[in-house]
Amino acid sequence: MRLTLNAGLKLAEAKICEKYSQTWSGRCTKTSHCDRQCINWEDARHGACHQDKHGRACFCYFNCKK
């Protein structure tokens, strides 16, 4: 069996949108906890702690809506 790939084929990539977590409260110190909460409570693809102008916050990442 022989497979041939089309060099002109473009795969669709979902754009990722970042938003502050709507369910997190307080300082975000463990990305793994933020990630779990974003996935389980907010139906996000993932979450992570990042520095913002107020300190460390939990951000959730979603597929952007078209």
Name all domains of the chain by residue range, CATH numbers in brackets.
16-63 (3.30.30.10)
pLDDT in tens, 6-42: 555 555 667 999 999 999 999 999 999 999 999 999 9
Pair of tokens at residue 53: 């102008």
Distance CA 21, CA 14 (A): 20
* Upper half-sphere CA count for residue 60 (Cβ side, 13 Å): 19
Pair of tokens at residue 51: 């520095």
Residue 3 predicted with pLDDT over 70: no
Please, what is the end-to-end C-alpha distance for the chain in angstroms? Answer: 39
Residue 28, number of CB atoms within 10 A of its CB = 22
What's the pTM? Answer: 0.76
